[in-house]
Amino acid sequence: MSDAGLNRIDGVYVGNMLSGCLQRQENLGTMMANAIGLTGVSVAKVESACASGGVALHVGVNAIASGANDLVMVAGVEKMTSQPNPNVTAGLMGAEDQMTVAGSGISFVGLNAMIAQAYMDKFSVPPEKIARFPVVCHKHALNSPHAQFKKSVTVDDVLNSPMVADPIRLYECSGIGDGAAAVILASEEKAREITDSPILVAASAVANDTQSLHQRSDMTTFDASVTSSRKAYERAKVSAEDIDVLEVHDAFSILGVMALEDLGFVEKGKGTTLLEDGQIEVGGMIPTNTFGGLKARGHPVGATGVYQIVEVAKQLRGEAGRNQVAGAETGYAQNIGGIGSTITGHILARMD
Ligand SMILES: CC(C)(COP(=O)(O)OP(=O)(O)OC[C@H]1O[C@@H](n2cnc3c(N)ncnc32)[C@H](O)[C@@H]1OP(=O)(O)O)[C@@H](O)C(=O)NCCC(=O)NCCS
């Protein structure tokens, strides 16, 4: 609110997944509004697993577009470190069907391990090619003031890190951490009144898929990623070639590789070719996760989708510091909930 020079807004929408489960705290919409001294405004907590932040943004965008609200805060927040990791892992499995999947004891690392193995088999991709994705994220995080893991790692470090769920190793997993991020939304007219550097939400799209992997015919693509991105490109009247900066949901590095394909940046099965020659690094063809992504910036789950929006907005405002993408005008953010079962696609653009 201080960045936007505001002391009053009329809506607060909070993305969060685990507060009820880990802190026994619900009603976050009114709690956050109270914390900033507000009563009498529209409030809601929005829960869509790890896509809670992205879906909260979608709700906020629709509240502005419909005229229901004039000035809205969309926040994402998660506190994961107040409980031991096994409790957090069990809480995260709340995104899955309790009867058919979660009850088996498998974790999200395990589910993504099945995807990674299927992908490597189908496209004959060795682990060392996928291992380049977290190397780039860690490199970008070195210049990211709010990153969780600020250390440089090599492909060898990734390949020698402990196995978590075969074939996924520690340095291919996002971590467990706390975090929060927030943006203010307004109509175009209002935004121009309150700031000299407004950023347009050119498209806000959501698509879902089946809740679980065994209900799908192909584990190596996320249909909801393809569908949400095509909806977003159509609404913003752009294509993948127009995107200057990209945020993808690399909760596990295999998901980062698949996102490059599903969002239309490279042919299916060829995602790792973009990891060669610095093509997803700042200065490359499609700079990706320029603040470190979920792997190195962190993945406080309900906050992640809003972090991505803040980071794309910073790039478009020229405020990304040493990782600034020169001349960035259009950015895309992909946020995934569950095992690709709810996916958001947001396209942001400079308004000048
Ligand atoms: C991978 C995972 C199981 C590791 O948890 P853990 O074994 O309990 O690890 P700890 O928290 O005890 O940390 C042990 C060490 O590993 C490091 N570490 C933990 N997770 C890490 C990660 N993802 N990447 C890099 N380092 C990590 C810690 O910093 C710590 O280092 P130190 O010994 O130098 O201090 C945990 O990070 C995890 O569950 N990640 C996935 C989260 C998830 O599923 N999110 C939702 C996605 S849909």
Would you state the structure tokens that stand for residue 61, as one six-digit string?
Answer: 């965008």
What is the pLDDT tens value at each position of the chain, 352 positions in all? 999 999 999 999 999 999 999 999 999 999 999 999 999 999 999 999 999 999 999 999 999 999 999 999 999 999 999 999 999 999 999 999 999 999 999 999 999 999 999 999 999 999 999 999 999 999 999 999 999 999 999 999 999 999 999 999 999 999 999 999 999 999 999 999 999 999 999 999 999 999 999 999 999 999 999 999 999 999 999 999 999 999 999 999 999 999 999 999 999 999 999 999 899 999 999 999 999 999 999 999 999 999 999 999 999 999 999 999 999 999 999 999 999 999 999 999 999 8
Provide the 10 A C-beta neighbour count for residue 321: 12
Mutate which of 87, 101, 174, 335 for ligand 1? The one with the most ligand atoms within 8 Å of its CB, which is: 174
**What are the contacts of 133-136 at 24+ separation with CB within 8 A?**
133/172, 133/250, 133/253, 133/256, 133/257, 133/272, 133/275, 133/280, 133/295, 134/158, 134/171, 134/172, 134/250, 134/253, 134/295, 134/296, 136/275, 136/280, 136/281, 136/288, 136/289
pLDDT of residue 347: 99
The predicted-structure confidence for 237-281, as pLDDT tens digits, reads as follows 999 999 999 999 999 999 999 999 999 999 999 999 999 989 999
Query: Which run of H or of E encompasses 76?
Result: strand 71-78
DSSP 93: G
Which residue CA neighbors atom 8 of ligand 1 most closely? 85
pLDDT of residue 176: 98
326: left (phi over 0), alpha (psi -120 to 50) or beta: beta
pLDDT of residue 352: 80
Q: Which residues does ligand 1 sit against, CB inside 6 Å?
A: 50, 85, 89, 92, 108-109, 149, 164, 170-171, 173-176, 251, 299, 301
Q: Which of 55, 10, 47 is nearest to 27 (CA)?
A: 47
Which residue CA neighbors atom 27 of ligand 1 most closely? 175
Count of all residues that appear for the chain in the document? 352
DSSP 299: -
In terms of Cβ atoms closer than 10 Å to its own Cβ (0-12, 13-18, 19+), residue 4 is middle
Residue with tokens 């690392």: 109
Given 50, 137, 140, 173, which residue is catalytic? 50
299 is catalytic: yes
